[in-house]
Chain A
C-alpha cells in the first residue's frame, strides 16, 4: 500500500507479523512492539532501533511526534501541493478573526508592502499587506465583519 505525505511517497507492505516499508528506494523493516489506538502511541523497532511515535489524525492531516520533534504532514494524492497564502493574487485571512479597518477600495493602485486592511485575532492586530504592486480588483470584506481562516479578503491584479 502506498501513501503520500506532502510530496514524499512511502510504501508499506505486511511481511509476516512485521512490515516492510520502502521510501526513496530504501527498504526498512518495521516491527510493532505495541500500539495503543486510544492515545495514538506506537512503540516500534525500525531496523532493530527502538522508536516511540505518537500519531494523531485530523482529516488529511497527520501529527507525528518522534524523538521529541512534532511534524504536521498532509496526506495527498501524490500531486505537488503547498499551502497557498495568496490565492491567484487574492489575499486570504491567515486565521479566523474580525476586520478592524479597510484602507483600500476597488480600483486603487497599491504598492508592494502597503497595508490594505487590518484584522484582529486573538487580541492581536494583523496587517494584511499587498504582495506586489498592482490595482485592487475586489474587496470582499468590510469593517467589523467576522472572517474565517483562508477566506479571500482582497484581490490585487
Chain B
C-alpha cells in the first residue's frame, strides 16, 4: 500500500480523495495555485505544495510541476481526480515513468478511449452499439455533406473531449459554420486539439451511464447505471440510480456492453461508459435502445450516487487496485440497494443563462440528517473565483425508494443556505417538483425545451421583514444612510473595522 498520495486537483474532489486516504492510513499532499492558497483542500491535506499562478495551464495542468511536487514531497502515487489531467494519457505515462503510480487506468486505455473518433471505431469492432455519425472530417463542405446525410439536428463535438466542452447542437445548415468554429476553438482551448466529429443528435434520449471497475488481475465488474439526463449547457446537474425506466433485462444488457467496452481497452481502475438511451426505440427498423457515447477513463463527479446504492467506496477501491490488490468480490456479489440522487450545487444564475456567479461566500450551511451526504470544497468566507469550475458542493441523498429519495432531496435543498453568490438550488428544487421528473421522463433536452426559462420569484413578505430587521438588530440602525453603497454593516467576514460613519 502507498505511504503518501499527491492529489493533483482542487475543490470537493480533492477533499473527497483525501478523506479516503486518511481512512486507509495514507498521508496526503495537496497542490494549489495562487488563487487557492487558502482553499479548503489545502487546509484539509497533511501537506501542501504551491504549483503556480491561478490560470489552470500554469498550475493544475502543468505536468512537470506536479510530478516534481510529488517527488519533492516523497509521495509514491498521484490521484488526478476528475477534469484537469485526469484523462491525459501523457500525464499518466509521465507519472509512471517517474516511478510513481498513477491512480487510474493505463496510459494506453486513456489514449484509446480519449479520442472520441477512434474509440467509436474500436467499440463498433467490440460489438458495442454506437450512434450513427462520421469521424475525421476537415472541410466545412465535408461537415455539411455529413450533416445532410445523417439528418439534422446533429451534434458536433470535440474528438478529444468530454464534459460538454467543445460541443454544439446544430439544428440547420446555416448554423453549422459558426457552430464548428466555436466548437473547434473551445476544443482547442480545453484539450489542445481542435478535431471534431459529427453525429446524429437524439432529441428525446436519456443519458445513462454504467460504472465499471477493473483490477490489475483481469477482473472487470460493473456497478450498474446512473441516470444523468437533467443537464444545462450539456453538463449534468442532477443524477440518480437506479433509473426507473430500465428493465432488469436492459440493465443486464447495458452492464455487459459496458464491461465489453472496458475489456476492449484492457481497462483497470474506475471508469464510466456513457450511453444514449432511447426509451421508445422504433421496433420496425430493429434499432437498439442504447448507443455507446464515450468512456470516461476516470472517477466521475457523480460517483457518490453509485457508492450510496452499492455500498462500495469507489475511491478506496481506486487506491487499493492501483496498489495491486485483487477484488475480493465478483459481479454476483454487487447489488443495488434503495435509491440515490445527486444535485450539483453550482455558483451560477439560472435566471441569466446559468452564467457563473463569483464572489465571497457570506454564508455556507450544508444540510444534515439521515441519508444526506455533502461533498463540498467550500466554507463560509471562501472566494468563488472565475478561474475554476463553479461547483460549490454535491448534495447526495439515499432512501429506500425513489419517491422517498426525491422528498429527502427537496427538504435537503431547502436546508442548504448559500449567501454571497447566486446558486441553482431553487432551480433544482423546481425541477424535482415537476411531474416529468417525478415520473422519470426527463430527457437530455428537457431543460431546454420543456422546463423553460427561470425567473427569480418575488420576495416573500417574511424575507423583506427579515432583511429590514437585520439592519436594525445587527447594527442598531442608527448609522445607516438611506443608500448604503459603501458600508458593509454586519458581515462578519469584513468586520475589520472601517465603518464609514
Bound-complex Cα distance A1 to B185 (A): 55
Say how far B59's CB is from chain A's closest CB, in angstroms.
14
Number of A-B contacts defined by CB within 8 Å: 188
Q: Are A125 and B463 in contact (CB under 8 A)?
A: no
Task: Tell me, yes or no, whether B469 is within 8 Å of chain A by CB.
Answer: yes
| B418, B460, B465: the one within 8 Å of A67 (CB) | B460
CB distance from B209 to the nearest CB of A (A): 22
B454 at the interface (CB under 8 A from A): no
Contact status A56-B459, CB under 8 Å: no
Question: Which of A35, A123, A149 is in CB contact (< 8 Å) with B165?
Answer: A123
Contact: A30 with B469, CB < 8 Å?
yes
B388 / chain A contacts, CB cutoff of 8 Å:
122-123
Q: Mark A116-137, 1 if CB is under 8 A from B, else 0.
A: 0010111111110000000000
Cα A76 to Cα B485 with chains together (Å): 9
Taking a contact as CB atoms closer than 8 A, the residue among B186, B390, B470 that contacts A55 in the complex is: B470
Given A58-B359, A95-B356, the answer on whether A122 and B469 have CB atoms closer than 8 Å is: no
Interchain CB contact under 8 A, B419 and A54 = yes
Bound: A53/B467 CA distance, A: 9
Say yes or no: A21-B470 contact (C-beta < 8 A), given A122-B388, A122-B390.
no
Q: Distance in Å from the Cβ of B394 to the closest Cβ of chain A? A: 18
Contact assessment for B469 and A32 in the assembled complex, using a CB-CB cutoff below 8 Å? yes
Q: Does A38 contact B (CB under 8 A)?
A: yes
Choose among A3, A38, A69 the residue that contacts B426 (Cβ–Cβ < 8 A).
Answer: A69
**Does any Cβ of B come within 8 Å of A144's Cβ?**
no
Complex Cα–Cα for A73 and B460 (A): 11
Known A70-B423, A70-B425; contact A57-B490, beta-carbon cutoff 8 A: yes
> Which B residues touch A109, using CB under 8 A?
none
- How far is the CB of B255 from the nearest CB of chain A, in Å? 33
Instruction: Kindly list chain A residues whose C-beta atoms are within 8 Å of the C-beta of B178.
Output: 115
Say whether B474 faces chain A, with CB atoms less than 8 Å apart. Answer: yes
Residues on the A chain within 8 Å of B470, using CB: 40, 42, 53, 55, 57, 62, 64
Establish whether residues B461 and A94, one from each chain, have CB atoms under 8 Å apart when the complex forms.
no
A21–B165 CA distance with the chains assembled, in angstroms: 50
Q: What are 9 contact pairs spanning A and B, CB under 8 A?
A: A5-B467, A28-B465, A32-B469, A40-B362, A53-B463, A97-B386, A101-B185, A124-B233, A125-B182
Leading 6 A-B pairs by shortest Cβ distance: A68-B414, A53-B466, A63-B419, A56-B362, A55-B470, A56-B419
Chain A: residues with CB nearer than 8 A to chain B?
A: 1, 3, 5-6, 8, 10, 12, 19, 21, 23, 28, 30, 32, 35, 37-40, 42, 44, 46, 51, 53-60, 62-73, 75-78, 94-97, 100-101, 115, 118, 120-127, 149
Chain B contact residues, CB within 8 Å of chain A: 165, 178, 182, 185-186, 189-190, 233, 352, 355-360, 362-363, 365, 386-390, 413-415, 417-420, 422-423, 425-426, 429, 456-457, 459-474, 477, 482-492
